[in-house]
Structure 1
Amino acid sequence: MSIFKIDSEKCDKDGICAIECPAYIIEMTSEGPVPVEGAREICIKCGHCVAVCPKAAFSLEFLSPDQCMPIEKQLVLTANHAEHFLRSRRSVRRYKNKPVPEDILEKVLTIACCAPTASNNQPVKWLVVNGEKAVGKIGAHVIDWMRYALKTHPQMAKLYNLETLITKWDKGEDRVCRNAPLIVFAYASDAFPSAATDCHLALAYLELALPGFNLGSCWAGYVNSAFGQWPNLAAHLKLPEKHTCHGALMVGFPKLKYYRAPKRNTPDIRYHAG
């Protein structure tokens, strides 16, 4: 059985599918598109061929046109909309005391899974730590790491003002997890060389998708740092063997509203003429 099939009544033999295929598994003939030898083993299952066909004539054995989300012209961002959306995004560090519904979170994570990954390997996995007590335990492990760092790496601790964070924690103020209702970790198998980049891109997609659901986020920098340096935190999260966490986001409903977008530095650009 072929890895793909063509609706001959719809196909106009324009060759777009073959041009677009990143794995070069499609060859154009006078009869239309045909798979190259070994196509099934070479295919990266990206679905570009199905998505790019204007006639909806191309179907893979695992993906048909009617299984794809249609691209609606009225929903495509204009340049102004894209700029407004991206510049208005803020890192949220103050959250309402309100849980995030599981169905909404899963919907946003589904969107985040559309982030690009190397060779479409899609290695990103998610760990959700939900609830005040559960998030508090994460913060406590991070504080334990900070106490250790304060004794063993005083210069680093001074640079990152860890002593103040510890003092505030001891007084009941959480500047580590910011009293977020949940934390989302992105992790992947160490077998994937691009795992870190894939996880970072997925987290960026998650961060950008959340405002559409009235949610906000902030990268959990102290948690990220502690994870790689404090074995007790890694043990607490119980990731599968030979898997690594590559980032975490605090997520919740924003407590405050922003009315303007601050300026940022102009891009530092250098063009190389070759």
Structure 2
Amino acid sequence: MLPVIIDTELCKRDELCVHECPLMVLTVEKKGQVPVVHPKKTNYCINCGHCMAICPTGAITLSAFEGQAAEPFSKEDLPDSAAVETLIKTRRSVRKFKKKNISADEVGELIHTAAYAPSGHSAQPVSWTVLDTPEKVLELGKVVVEWMEEMVKQKNPLAEKLFLAGLVNTWKKGKDVICRDAPAVAVAWAPKLGITPQADTVIATNTLEIAAHAKGYGTCWAGYVVLAAAYSQKVLDYLGVPEGHMAHGALFLGHPAVRYRNIPPRHKSVAEEQDGKFIFRARPNTH
């Protein structure tokens, strides 16, 4: 089956799809004809959907999505730049959650939105593991702490650098500094041998974070979970990450127990011109 299907009755013969395709999968033999898949490029389509997105009549479907139609939108449907800026600036790392669960279905809606995050070569490789109860998240924390204890016993330099002994002691005193008593966690993973798996999972995680914020959920990056996953097969096994894959992003999710009312400042990068280039140099925080 051809990767791109064009409805000849709906097609306007405007060739917008031909010129938009990043891999030049579509072609026309003569002006005014319906575009077709280039016979030598039937395996080139990366299912990015640009041809569907640009078609004004909805004449195009992709075989990979079983003929699912594109969803039309207008400029009026988009938030203005001020709204987007406010959404980004008001995102916080939430570490205090209400004792109210967030279901796997609710997280699943966010994951579907995050599927629209960009990925290298449109590989769309990111899968997710969702733990949707505090008990499951707490068990994950226990597995992570077990890895930390092992690192401390081995006197691994990473243990000293990241103060893992202190984290373990705090955990044993009953304070959850690993998972923050979160009611849910979403962990993003992808094939190790993908094109850009680490970038893809991090971008998808950030996209899910923004989508969650827009819906009123609180999130916090689960850094210790991702760190432990890089070293501990037991953590990967608990998360159900298959062999040949790695977790690169994770978020705790829930209903925030606090309300933020102000946007704190950030250092503003000042452009420096160097040999015709403009350098916006970061001003990192000093701790």
Aligned-partner Cα distance in 2 for 1:262–1:144: 36
The AA in structure 2 aligned to 1:129 is L
Aligned to 1:258: 260
Cα deviation digits, residues 57-102 of structure 1 (max 9, x gap): 3344456997222223323121111111111111111111111023
Counterparts in 2 of 1:154-193, with a 5 A limit?
Answer: 156-193=158-195
The AA in structure 1 aligned to 2:138 is G
Does 1:73 find its partner at 2:75?
yes
Aligned to 1:149: 151
Q: 1:153 to 1:266 in 2, by over 3 A?
A: farther
Instruction: State the Cα distance separating 1:156 from its structure 2 match.
Output: 3.9
Q: Which sections of structure 2, spanning at least 5 residues, go unmatched?
A: 278-287
The AA in structure 1 aligned to 2:212 is L
Contact (CA 8 Å) 1:50, 1:65: kept in 2 or not?
A: no
Contact (CA 8 Å) 1:2, 1:35: kept in 2 or not?
A: yes
SS of the equivalent of 1:261 reads: coil
Aligned-partner Cα distance in 2 for 1:160–1:175: 13
Instruction: State the Cα distance separating 1:176 from its structure 2 match.
Output: 0.5
Q: Which deviates more, 95-104 or 155-164?
A: 155-164
Q: Relative to total residues, which structure has the larger helix share, 1 or 2?
A: 1
Contact (CA 8 Å) 1:130, 1:182: kept in 2 or not?
A: yes
Does 1:15 find its partner at 2:15?
yes
SS of the equivalent of 2:128 reads: strand
Cα deviation digits, residues 103-154 of structure 1 (max 9, x gap): 2211111111111122222111111122222211211122222223334347
Counterparts in 2 of 1:56-205, with a 5 A limit?
Answer: 56-62=58-64, 67-153=69-155, 156-205=158-207
Contact (CA 8 Å) 2:5, 2:60: kept in 1 or not?
A: yes
Aligned-partner Cα distance in 1 for 2:157–2:5: 63
Instruction: State the Cα distance separating 1:155 from its structure 2 match.
Output: 5.4
Report the count of equivalent residues.
274
Does 1:234 find its partner at 2:205?
no
The AA in structure 2 aligned to 1:15 is E
Aligned-partner Cα distance in 2 for 1:165–1:268: 38
Tell me the TM-score normalised to structure 2 length.
0.85
Aligned-partner Cα distance in 2 for 1:3–1:128: 32
Q: 1:125 to 1:61 in 2, by over 3 A?
A: closer
Does 1:209 find its partner at 2:200?
no
Aligned-partner Cα distance in 2 for 1:92–1:71: 32
Aligned-partner Cα distance in 1 for 2:137–2:72: 38
Instruction: State the Cα distance separating 1:52 from its structure 2 match.
Output: 0.3
Q: 1:27 to 1:142 in 2, by over 3 A?
A: same
SS of the equivalent of 2:190 reads: strand
Contact (CA 8 Å) 1:188, 1:195: kept in 2 or not?
A: yes
Q: 1:139 to 1:51 in 2, by over 3 A?
A: same
Contact (CA 8 Å) 1:10, 1:56: kept in 2 or not?
A: yes
Contact (CA 8 Å) 2:6, 2:60: kept in 1 or not?
A: yes
Cα deviation digits, residues 30-79 of structure 1 (max 9, x gap): 12423212332111111211110123333444569972222233231211
Aligned-partner Cα distance in 2 for 1:241–1:64: 29
RMSD (CA atoms): 2.4
Q: Which deviates more, 159-168 or 191-200?
A: 159-168
Q: 1:38 to 1:215 in 2, by over 3 A?
A: same
SS of the equivalent of 1:185 reads: strand
Q: 1:58 to 1:67 in 2, by over 3 A?
A: closer
Cα deviation digits, residues 165-190 of structure 1 (max 9, x gap): 22221111101100001111111122
SS of the equivalent of 2:43 reads: helix
SS of the equivalent of 1:187 reads: strand
Contact (CA 8 Å) 1:50, 1:63: kept in 2 or not?
A: no
Instruction: State the Cα distance separating 1:230 from its structure 2 match.
Output: 2.6
The AA in structure 2 aligned to 1:123 is P
